[in-house]
Amino acid sequence: MFNIGVISYSAAALMFLVLSLLLLTSWRGRLQGGLLVSAAISTVVWAVIAAYHAARGYPSLLLLPVAEVVRDGIWFAFLVRLLHAAQGGTRISAKLRWLSGSLIGVCLALLGVLAWPEIGAFAGGVDLRVLGYVLLAVAGLGLVEQIFRNTAAERRWGIKFLCLGIGGLFVYDFFLYSDALLFQHVDRHLWDARGVINALAVPLIAVSAARNPQWSLDVAVSRGVIFHTTALLGAGIYLLVMAGAGYYIRLYGGNWGLVAQAVFLFGAAVVLLMILSSGQARARGKVFLNKHFFSHKYDYREEWLRFIRTLSDSAPDSPRIGPARERAIKALAQIVDSPAGMLWWRRGTVDSDSPFVSQFMPAARWNVPQQAGASESAESSLADFLEQRQWVIDLGEYARHPEVYQGLEISPWMRDFPQGWLVVPLILHQQVPGFIVLTQPRAARHINWEDRDLLKTAGCQAASYLAQLEATQALVEARQFEAFNRLSAFVVHDLKNLVAQLSLVVSNAARHKHNPAFMEDAINTVEHATAKMNRLLAQLRSGSARTGMASEFELDALLREVIAMRVHVNPIPVLERSEAELFVEADRDRLAAVLVHLVQNAQEATPADGQVRIRLSGVDGQAVLEVEDTGHGMSAEFIRERLFQPFQTTKGGTGMGIGVYQSRELVRDLGGDIQVTSVPGKGTLFRILLPLKESRQDAKLLGSL
């Protein structure tokens, strides 16, 4: 007659022995994994002793309860360490220290009770040993509950089977010893079933170990073994269900019962053979098992960090990485160990016979020769397949099984590219603006669903990166055109002022050509205009609005020159107050142009009998230049929204509306600013703030002392 206890605990010992060997061969030296290995080995020892105990007829052995306490203690150490990691894994909290100390105390107290049996019961007749086992079971359940509660929801996938397995063991121990505490003896049948219960927890613990590589455990099971075992198990379950259904058909089928049963079983067998012989069913089954029962093929964190690092390398022209588009090729190629590749990007070209034609053109290459004249129409079968299916094309698989890629026809340039291996679509907003062709890896490699999913996801990121690159280039070109147009507008504005000065000379030449003073002024005006136009030509050649050399000069002298240039126009500007020895460092001609423009605007806005007053002072290390008029003024809304906007003017068709904007930009480049105060109908005050030259400012302060 079989001894059920021996078989039960032998099964537990065998299962935990296999688990221990698997964990030992996969252990990488981390403490968490070491504690799990120790717990599994201690359970093997405990199960062997329990099997020996059952074989000897359950004698009173001290070794078995001691082994059980040691086993529980090691499992507690593993769970406490796991709880510490779930709480953040930085510092051990006071609560966790108290819990660890309490568990150690309970285990030591129970070992003391086991060592001295005479104190095993107290006055109430309760067996302290059994009570201790109940407390251990409760403590284990509490630990399992705390681990699950403190683990983030997105990480419970990795520990739920461990909690189910170990929690189930402690639940059964609690039931076993609670029953023993209630009835004053351990139920033999419950005790014998305990070994099988422990054996059933092993697969759950193994699955959690495989899902937690941070324990430094690389548990792996052959996919082929799992696939065939699952297929056999599924076929067996299917046949059992069909046999049961056939039995009920025969039982309740009356005269036709036997015939119906035979027909039903034959049909069920045919359906099973069809499923087992179906390549599509096998492929779907493999994909299902790979996705749901195995660790991933890639370390996605490392792959994604490397992919982003390659894309965002800070040296776009580095010989190690190459230009930006080549980095996109390399980032995808690294995933599948491809040594080279080529990027094709959608381009629009103007054809003489048709309107706009969109084509894919080679945009970049990495470690492959250039394909001259190669192109792919956006309406070809390849483009249509990538657009509709958004699937990674394996050119080798296409050559062997073209029926898998229905509707796809390889273009001529692909036949001239024999090293081509994978065509990865770059998907952006459900469209394919480009694709990357990767070459064969140095070592033969078979791609599966996981490779395809990762390549498609990386292709989406690469498409976004390349589209952003295209947009950035377009923006840079637009800004270059904008800068050129703005420079042209500034030059035209300055030319307009020069033409106005020369026109004034021409209009007065007939009356004053015999006046030596007029002729001298006319020559000076022409000389100034010539020098200014030469500077404007230099600006156009360099593409910069600032070609003058900065120099140090006194503002009082500059103001007097500006006023002298505008005394021929009413109302004549008046210098009310000016502090001498205020020096600034700037382009003298450009700053003079700013002042001339402000004075000219004040004169044009003021009637001939009005006033234009100019003041210069120094305040807190700044030069303050004020141009005030008694003209028609401006509204606060106009000052706020339109005054400093380019191409906004109140002069109708005679003004360009960029003078004030240009003036403010120049003053701000010098570290200053322009402030405006105006009241409609009463006049306007322009205040220019400029930083004084520090050396002159310090000298002036020392002189005043």
- How many angstroms separate the CA atoms of 55 and 197, rounded? 19
Long-range contact set of residues 109-113: C-beta below 8 Å, sequence gap at least 24? 110/69, 110/135, 110/136, 111/66, 111/69
pLDDT at 283: 58
pLDDT at 207: 83
> pLDDT category, 296, cuts 50, 70, 90?
low
289 or 514, greater pLDDT: 514
3-class SS of residue 619: strand
319 or 427, greater pLDDT: 427
pLDDT at 107: 80
pLDDT at 349 over 50: no
Tens of pLDDT, residue by residue over 586-618, are: 878 778 878 888 888 888 889 988 999 999 988
Domain 549-704: which CATH class?
alpha beta
With a CB cutoff of 8 Å and minimum separation 6, the contacts of 412 are none
User: What's the average model confidence in pLDDT over 459-481?
Assistant: 81
- How many angstroms separate the CA atoms of 705 and 702, rounded? 5
Q: Cα–chain-centroid distance for residue 517? A: 74
pLDDT at 436 over 90: yes
Tens of pLDDT, residue by residue over 19-29, are: 888 888 777 66
Tens of pLDDT, residue by residue over 6-18, are: 888 999 999 999 8
pLDDT at 431: 87
pLDDT at 484: 63
- Is there a contact between 629 and 684 (Cβ–Cβ < 8 Å)? yes
For 251, other C-beta atoms within 10 Å of its C-beta total 10
Which pair of tokens denotes residue 610? 């009005």
Which pair of tokens denotes residue 59? 């004698």
Please give the single-letter amino acid code of residue 631.
Answer: G
Least Cα distance to 628 among 577, 690, 666, 677 occurs for 677
Tens of pLDDT, residue by residue over 550-586, are: 778 888 888 888 888 788 788 989 888 888 778 888 8
With a CB cutoff of 8 Å and minimum separation 6, the contacts of 535 are 547, 548, 589
Please report, to the nearest 10 degrees, the dihedral formed by the alpha carbons of residues 577, 583, 585, 588 taken in order: 50
Please give the single-letter amino acid code of residue 154.
Answer: E
Whole-model pTM: value is 0.42
The number of residues making up the chain comes to 705
Q: How far is CA 382 from CA 293, 325, 339, in A?
A: 35, 22, 23
Please report, to the nearest 10 degrees, the dihedral formed by the alpha carbons of residues 249, 251, 256, 259 taken in order: 60
Q: How far is CA 163 from CA 157, 167, 264, 295, in A?
A: 11, 5, 43, 19
pLDDT at 705 over 80: no
Partner residues linked to 683 by β-bridges: 679
- How many angstroms separate the CA atoms of 138 and 179, rounded? 14
- How many angstroms separate the CA atoms of 43 and 40, rounded? 5
pLDDT at 654: 45
| Residue 673 dihedral angles phi and psi, to the nearest 5° | -160, 165
pLDDT at 272 over 70: yes
CATH number corresponding to 4-215: 1.20.1070
| Sole residue written with tokens 């020392």 | 702
Q: How far is CA 136 from CA 75, 132, 172, 177, in A?
A: 11, 6, 12, 10
pLDDT at 199 over 70: yes
- How many angstroms separate the CA atoms of 242 and 248, rounded? 10
Q: Rank 141-150, 236-245, 646-655 by mean pLDDT and report only the highest.
A: 141-150
pLDDT at 90: 56
> pLDDT category, 426, cuts 50, 70, 90?
very high
- How many angstroms separate the CA atoms of 306 and 312, rounded? 10
Percentage of the chain with pLDDT > 70?
A: 78
For 521, other C-beta atoms within 10 Å of its C-beta total 16
> pLDDT category, 696, cuts 50, 70, 90?
low
Q: How far is CA 71 from CA 37, 109, 136, 142, 153, in A?
A: 12, 15, 11, 17, 30
pLDDT at 217: 54
Which pair of tokens denotes residue 630? 């008694």
> pLDDT category, 191, cuts 50, 70, 90?
confident
pLDDT at 489: 60
Tens of pLDDT, residue by residue over 628-673, are: 999 988 888 888 777 777 655 555 444 444 567 778 878 888 888 8
Which pair of tokens denotes residue 181? 């505490």
The answer to which of 189-198, 213-222, 583-592, 688-697 has the lowest mean pLDDT is 213-222
- Is there a contact between 32 and 82 (Cβ–Cβ < 8 Å)? yes
pLDDT at 330 over 80: yes
- How many angstroms separate the CA atoms of 647 and 17, rounded? 86
pLDDT at 652: 44
587 or 78, greater pLDDT: 78
Least Cα distance to 422 among 436, 412, 410 occurs for 436
pLDDT at 348 over 60: no
